[in-house]
Chain A
Amino acid sequence: MSEEVLLDVQHLKKYFVVEKNFFGQPTSLLKAVDDVSFQIKKGEAFGLVGESGCGKSTIGKMIVDLYTPTDGKIIFNGTDLSALSKKDRRKYCKDIQLIFQDPYASLNPRMTIGDIIAEPILTNHLRPKNEVEKRVEELLNCVGLSGSYRNRYPYEFSGGQRQRVGIARALAVEPKLIVCDEPVSALDVSIQAQVLNLLDDLKEEFNLTYLFIAHGLNVVKHISDRVGVMYLGKLMEIAPKGELYHNPLNPYTQALLSAIPSVDPNNRKKRIVLEGDVPSPIDPPAGCRFCSRCFKRMDGCESFDSILREVSPNHHVACKLYEQAGPGEAEHDKKEA
């Protein structure tokens, strides 16, 4: 992994208008993503986790230009994508690709597998027409499918196979960054592992960088180098995988980790059960977003400016507990907990 930053997301915001008044001015906003910043280095797999509705998929969709950010910058390889015109932005389609969550909905039922994979090659003029056929076969082999499947329709395939086709389609343009939007959450557990292994292998083989979005820490653990935890449109914690799993600092991360079931009966952790529901992103709590459900809440959480602070090298946390914390104090807290 090099130190070169491939994707730099700065103060990204996405507000959806829920209600408008008679004159078309928004009166109610849903803050799906609210001031999120992170960086992904070349060759890295960055995991983004959080509950449903926390805005993680919205970030992915903004990076591939399916949503236009309300504010903030998406800097890819030094270019600010959010400032480009539609036409110029389209040139970056071959660098950033998306793997969809639902393999049943992401393949056009009227096209053969071969046509689906050939389309990005033809659209972006990556190969001369007579070589496309060969390339499609190559891609199918890459994702572990036989080249003879190219004349079949999506409905003839199982979920795992379809997801492989979706991966092949994303690979077809030889992208630098792939946004994996919960690529295994619609699959059987047995198939999940296969697809995750495949993604891991492909990353090595084609020198890819992943933004891996998932709603559970266990899936992310498998594939990511660094992990970001989101809650209600905000990033709560970013840390290298090992650090995050062994020394979670944010109470929300601690609760998430405690929810991973353990197969070892001697190693059962006490589960932290959060009370209440996720507040509505239309009218999120003031201060720290998590304060209404936090089990370590203290005075001042309601007015806490929830931005990430580096408490130890590469470990960023947004929490009142570590407001003034240098690395030493964070250690202290760990022993106490």
Chain B
Amino acid sequence: MEENKEIAETSSITVGLEEKPESIWKSVWDSLKKNKAAMISLVFIIILVLVAVITAIFPGVLPHDPYEQNLAKSFAFPNAQYWFGTDQLGRDIFSRILVGTRVSLSVGVIAVAVSLTCGVLLGSIAGYLGGKVDTIIMRLMDIMLSIPSILLAIAFMAALGQGIDKAIIAISLVSIPEYARIVRGEILSVKQNDYVQAAKVIGDKNSRIVFHHVLPNVMSSIIVRATLGISSAILDASALGFLGLGVQPPMAEWGDMLGRARNYILSAPYAMIFPGLAISLSVLAFNLLGDGLRDALDPKSRQN
């Protein structure tokens, strides 16, 4: 006994001396910090969140009232007073973009949260239980996936009616299958692991095995997928807005602004360019952050 103990302790020199080890999330953060693109994206996203929150609480900080129409000043070229110019109704595009941040971000986050929750639940049930339950759930998901998502979203909107809340529901519904699929696939591979078998041998119940042993090990790919999902939700919301199905006027939303300005693309391109840039940049930021997270969460790249 004593001998064993001694050997075990001498062979653990590599482990280091401090009592408390680094948590996994600390090392993820360390490796994320080294990724410049991801860090710039993260800063950009934090700015977006701040803009969304501040414009909601203190509308006074906006240079102009985003809803105030002034037809005399319609299609003003970007200048010192109107940084991004004005639209067809003479509203300040810069202020409208700032206000629109709130809509786009909340659509992205809420839609992802809803679809992620449903997707993870369905995917875990299908993946862990397998058999007939798996077949039924996954065939349903396949049916939904077989219809182009934006078309399906439009169909849902047609059934539910217009409005940003309905757009969120439609976007959430159409992205459930994607999450369910990813989670199911990951669970299928994780549940083969010996530590899941060990939990069974110990006498753990299925629910505990799923929540304590399986899902935490699937978390990293879910987080990556969710970050990427926010960008596609923003894009979908913009597309619905562009088609006139999202927000109701006079509310400002990037896709809606883009859609309404497209008639004037030749005479006033800036009315389209800036909302378009806002969409592209925020989508790009979420994508890059998602990529960075994927690399940081990969245990192979983390351990060394």
Residues of chain A at the chain B interface (Cβ within 8 Å): 64-66, 90, 93-94, 97-98, 100-102, 105-111, 119-120, 123-124, 141-146, 148-149, 151-153, 155-158, 160-161, 164, 166, 169, 173, 194, 197-198, 201, 205
Contact = CB atoms under 8 A, between A and B. Distances in A.
Contacts of B200: 65-66
Interface residues of B, number: 34
B57 interface: no
Contacts of A146: 5, 8-9, 12
B242 to A, nearest CB: 42
B199 A109 contact: no
B7 A153 contact: no
B contact patch SS: helix
B1 A201 contact: yes
Nearest to A96: B201
Nearest to B193: A105
A102 B19 contact: no
Interface string B285-304: 00000000000000100010
B202 interface: yes
B11 A160 contact: yes
Given A105-B194, A108-B213, A123-B208, A160 B8 contact: yes
A194 B8 CA distance: 9
A280 to B, nearest CB: 23
28 contacts: A65-B200, A66-B197, A66-B201, A90-B203, A93-B202, A97-B202, A106-B197, A108-B195, A109-B195, A110-B216, A124-B202, A142-B1, A144-B9, A145-B5, A145-B9, A146-B8, A146-B12, A152-B21, A157-B12, A157-B15, A160-B11, A166-B198, A173-B202, A194-B4, A197-B4, A198-B4, A201-B1, A205-B1
Contacts of B204: 119, 123
A41 B216 CA distance: 41
B69 interface: no
Contact of B198 (A106, A142, A155): A106
B201 A65 contact: yes
A160 B303 CA distance: 19
Contacts of A144: 1, 4-9
Given A100-B194, A152-B15, A64 B21 contact: no
A156 B195 contact: no
Given A108-B213, A153-B24, A156-B21, A145 B203 contact: no
A148 B198 contact: no
Q: Which of A124, A148, A152 has the most CB of B within 10 A?
A: A152
Nearest to B17: A148
Nearest to A195: B4
Given A109-B217, A144-B4, A158-B11, A151 B303 contact: no
A105 B303 CA distance: 16
Interface string B180-209: 000000000000011101111111100010
Contacts of B299: 109, 155
A87 to B, nearest CB: 10
A84 to B, nearest CB: 13
A201 B203 CA distance: 26
Contacts of A100: 194, 197-198
